[in-house]
Amino acid sequence: MSADHSFVVDPDDTPSNPSGNRTLGEVLASRRSVLRGGSAVAAAGFLAGGGVFGAGAASAAPSDERGHDDDRPGRPSRLLGFAAVPASSADTLVVPPGYTAEVLIPWGTPLRSRGPAWRKDGSNSAADQAQQIGMNHDGMHFFPMGRGRECSRHGVLVLNHEYVDQALLFADGAAVMTKEKVDKALAGHGVSVVEVAEERGRWKLVDSRLNRRVTGSTPVRFSGPVGDGHPALAARGPAQGTLNNCSNGATPWGTYLACEENWNGYFGTADQSWQASPEQARYGVDKAGAGYRWHEADPRFDIAANPKEANRFGWVVEIDPLDGRATPVKRTALGRFKHEGATVTESRGRVVVYSGDDQDKEYVYKFVGNASWRSLRARGKDPLDHGTLYVGKFEADGSGRWLPLVFGEGALTAANGWADQADVLLRTRQAADAVGATPLDRPEWVAVHPRSKDVFLTLTNGSGGGPVGPRTPNPYGQIVRWREERGDSTALRFRWDIFLLAGDPKYDPKVTLSESQVFGSPDGLAVDDDGRLWIQTDVSNSSQNRADKGYDRIGNNQMLAADPTTGEVRRFLTGPRGSELTGITFAPDQRTMFVNVQHPGEATTSWGTPTPENPRAVSNWPDFDPTGRPRSATVVIRKRDGGIIGT
């Protein structure tokens, strides 16, 4: 999320962490650092045990099982077969020669053929929006259906709708707030579940009983230590809704995980006597919120009148895509913070979930199941309710540890003011402060290599620092990589390095990307089954295309692919104006890739601000209707020759 809404500032860039724990930049600053190699920052690293920036031979580290002798840094990648696309400032979406990109389910598409049609003037009601695809598509997963080749042509697509751009959502813009507009905004948020199929060469929405919306008003349950009935959840009215669903995860038992990121921004109050508690301040809850102003028309979001409503947000939400009647469940054992995503892997039968907390100087977390997920489910237990939450600590010597956030252990004792495990989870950020976690530059998506189990984390940008570059502040971001001890995702120790420094060498000589590779603010991340690392960017709307921000040659937000072994990076796609690229999932045969174009046409310093009179001021993608408005959409990408995406 650019988190810009109608503003061109990014509140994620403002820390609310007063802990004083050492940042990763400060850890790096304490090291004797030598940058080597190609676009990947060289690392004898965690393999040779020589330290991340040690003096060992340049090696982009973990060679995978493919065993190609010539897959070394500086060699052409065998994984990347497409021709790179140039950076772009055009209001269009560009893919490499030989590829096609088709728009599927833009904002407002009715879930069923007899549902309410999208109105291009923004005049759909709240009730209409609840039966249509939401706004600002984000994390997404394809759940295949059928057998054999069928499962790569038919499935359920589940996607998040992170937030709404109220300037584009409402016919009259955002100036006046009403209860109907709050309800429409709530209906534009959440998750869409839609059955899709390839028919006669084109992916289409299927008129299915599975199609449904989970919105900001859908009944939800809570499980784990902060379960249903916990006093902290006793806000006015029944528990409803999920908001600011950024990235996502998918479990091995076939459920979808939607994450709640910048939930604090929906709350506010006109009560000038209200003061944030330390816990509320730690999560950035304040009188103004992020500018939605829902509290003016709906007391549910008045933080002074209904403070416990905020405790219902900041969680990971489990949704069953194949049961339209199943109530979404907030899994509180995974902690409460600004969850970017919930990347799931498993080791020795136990589930492992990685999650970044996306704000400057926040942490990365890992949940480890305490028994095999199959055995838990066989006993009628939910695997995400039974495990331990850890937070990452990165050491200067390239080692790292996962520190448990368990009541009674370490600093998290009654003597230190902790009541129980529910208290630890409700105040996850403060618990992580107390155990000494390492603050990072806005931790966003996590991706796990399917075979090596190496973990990649985007640190999109932040206040940064250290000798890895003139990164104080750090406007371009980087990708951190680690390997868990013994390659076991449940391990509590790891070795880490910096896989890649993003940026433009014109403005930052430490960046080793070539002019044709420049990019910044990596955010979305995935590793496909062949091991290609896909990178999606979210440059803030205040920086896109701007020379004074070092982003003029980088252009619009984009998507790139990297070879984790050789370190080569190649630009794959460029998005329309004002948009970010986010959400990525594949059909099992890897011959269809689904990605999301979020917030095309949002207020952008370089291009302007949409208004009720001219909602097309920044972009008119994808319809290019002279009387329409820009729409977020899923895009289906395929090769004309039917080949694997990326080759």
Q: Which residues sit at the interface with Ca ion, rule CB under 5 A? A: 523, 538
230 CB burial (10 A radius; 0-12, 13-18, 19+)? middle
DSSP state of 38: S
Query: What residues from 517 to 556 belong to the interface with ligand FEO (CB under 6 A)?
Result: 523
Question: Could you tell which of ligand FEO, Ca ion, none binds residue 128, using a CB distance below 5 to 8 A set by kind?
Answer: none
Least Å distance, CB 595 to Ca ion, is 13
Question: Could you tell which of Ca ion, ligand FEO, none binds residue 318, using a CB distance below 5 to 8 A set by kind?
Answer: none
Using CB under 6 A as the binding rule, whether residue 316 contacts ligand FEO is answered as no
- Cα separation of 424 and 13, whole Å? 25
Contact 152, 142 (CB under 8 A): no
Q: What is the largest CA-CA distance in the chain?
A: 68
Query: Is the peptide bond preceding residue 622 cis, with omega within 30 degrees of 0?
Result: yes
The residues pairing with 495 across neighbouring beta strands, listed in sequence order, are 399, 483
The token pair at 617 is: 């001021």
Least Å distance, CB 12 to Ca ion, is 7
Of 260 and 309, nearer to ligand FEO (C-beta) is 260
Of 247 and 517, nearer to Ca ion (C-beta) is 247
Of 4 and 508, nearer to ligand FEO (C-beta) is 4
β strands within 281-426, DSSP E = 316-319, 329-331, 343-347, 350-356, 360-362, 364-369, 387-394, 399-404
Residue that has been written with the tokens 């696309």 in this structure: 85
- Cα separation of 27 and 32, whole Å? 11
Contact 42, 36 (CB under 8 A): yes
In angstroms, the first-to-last Cα distance of the chain is 29
Helix (H, G, I), strand (E, B) or coil at 372: coil
Least Å distance, CB 357 to ligand FEO, is 9
Least Å distance, CB 382 to ligand FEO, is 26
Contact 602, 621 (CB under 8 A): no
Query: What residues from 328 to 387 belong to the interface with ligand FEO (CB under 6 A)?
Result: 340, 358
Distances (CA, A) of 53 to 41, 394, 483: 8, 14, 15
Question: Could you tell which of Ca ion, ligand FEO, none binds residue 261, using a CB distance below 5 to 8 A set by kind?
Answer: ligand FEO
Of 157 and 258, nearer to ligand FEO (C-beta) is 258
Q: Which of 43, 17, 39, 19 is nearest to 31 (CA)?
A: 43
Of 346 and 358, nearer to ligand FEO (C-beta) is 358
Question: Could you tell which of Ca ion, ligand FEO, none binds residue 357, using a CB distance below 5 to 8 A set by kind?
Answer: none
Of 307 and 473, nearer to ligand FEO (C-beta) is 473
Query: How many other C-beta atoms are found inside a 10 Å radius of the C-beta of residue 121?
Result: 11
Least Å distance, CB 538 to Ca ion, is 4
Question: Could you tell which of Ca ion, ligand FEO, none binds residue 162, using a CB distance below 5 to 8 A set by kind?
Answer: ligand FEO
The residues pairing with 462 across neighbouring beta strands, listed in sequence order, are 474
Using CB under 6 A as the binding rule, whether residue 1 contacts ligand FEO is answered as yes
Least Å distance, CB 191 to Ca ion, is 16
One of 168, 246, 491, 535 touching ligand FEO (CB under 6 A): 246
Of 12 and 552, nearer to Ca ion (C-beta) is 12
- Cα separation of 64 and 181, whole Å? 52
Of 484 and 538, nearer to Ca ion (C-beta) is 538
The token pair at 259 is: 């994450």
Using CB under 6 A as the binding rule, whether residue 286 contacts ligand FEO is answered as no
Using CB under 6 A as the binding rule, whether residue 162 contacts ligand FEO is answered as yes
Query: What residues from 248 to 267 belong to the interface with ligand FEO (CB under 6 A)?
Result: 261
Q: What is the contact surface with ligand FEO in residues (CB under 6 A)?
A: 1, 162, 246, 261, 340, 358, 444, 523
